[in-house]
Amino acid sequence: MTAAGPDDARLIALFLDMLAAERGAARNTLLAYGRDLEQASAWLDGRLGTAQAPELAQLSAHWAGLARASAARKGSAVRQFLAFLQSDGIRADNPRRDLAAATAARPLPKTLDPRDVDRLFAALADRLAAHPGDPRTLRLAALIELLYGSGLRATELVSMPRHAVRPGRGFIVLAGKGGKERLAPIGSRAEAAVAAHAALVPIAARHLFPSRNGTHLTRLRLYQLVKELAAAAGIPPDRVSPHVLRHAFATHLLEGGADLRTLQTLLGHADIATTQIYTHVASKALVELVNARHPLADRKA
């Protein structure tokens, strides 16, 4: 297998430039697309840009032994690349239909039972009662309240600016995926927890959760803190993570009657299809909602 040919390398670079300029793709996304396309080009001896059905069949054969999610990602990259070449007039046709699609099975998100959430917050309350005013405990309380109360992503949380939370405003302005700004809700509990923690953070600090080296708390440390609290609450640590708390936020809102469009906004999802995964998690509650609220629910057959 050789490297991508010079023509392919130029076309891949143009495609990545388009993703960055027109779609605002994040750096990690660009790196992933670049790797997948360079590898596909190498498998075709530098002929990805001019590939036809036989060459695309070769790619499908190469991907046959990969995990379904990996094959689906690589196929998506190539199909978007070929569509770009046609839309920019670099080639007249678009043979992407000849590329066998490997559909990735989207796993159901892990979540927590409301009783487990209660246990988690009970353990947090015990720590606050035992160590009132302790900076590390107040920081942990603010982190947990924002994860479950606002449904933040781990990166959004740890990188939050020092003055992102303003009393009484009811929402936070965040830098979401791809650097795009989004609004996240913040309830009175989370606001109070953040205020107690922020009172101990230097006014000149750039981040709400600063680290000793002048940047901010790392995602790894956040994961460790969440799992330590889970263990203290008697919950197996492998069942709890920052992302699980975000999923719990979404699932419990849906079970409480929130609609998918509202949930999409609260979670900062660009595509409603991403939000729809929660309907599988909360399907029992949705069936009960239909049976209770539908106009025909109280009529006898």
Which residues are the active-site residues? 153, 177, 243, 246, 269, 278
Secondary structure of residue 23 in the 3-state scheme:
coil
**Which residues, in sequence order, are CB contacts of 169 under 8 Å at separation 6+?**
186
Write phi, then psi, for 103 (nearest 5 degrees).
Answer: -80, 120
Measured distance CA(24)–CA(27) in Å, rounded: 9
Counting runs of H as helices and runs of E as strands, what totals does the chain give? Answer: 14, 2
Tokens read off for 115:
């009783």
Instruction: Provide the CA 145 distance to its chain's centre, in angstroms.
Output: 18
CB count in 10 Å sphere of residue 96: 19
Q: CA 170 to CA 92: how far, in whole Å? A: 52
192: its two tokens = 């109070």
Question: Which tokens belong to 233?
Answer: 């609450």
CA distance 156 to 36: 27
C-alpha closest to that of 82 among 21, 5, 8: 8
Q: What is the Cα–Cα distance from 289 to 260, expressed in whole angstroms?
A: 14
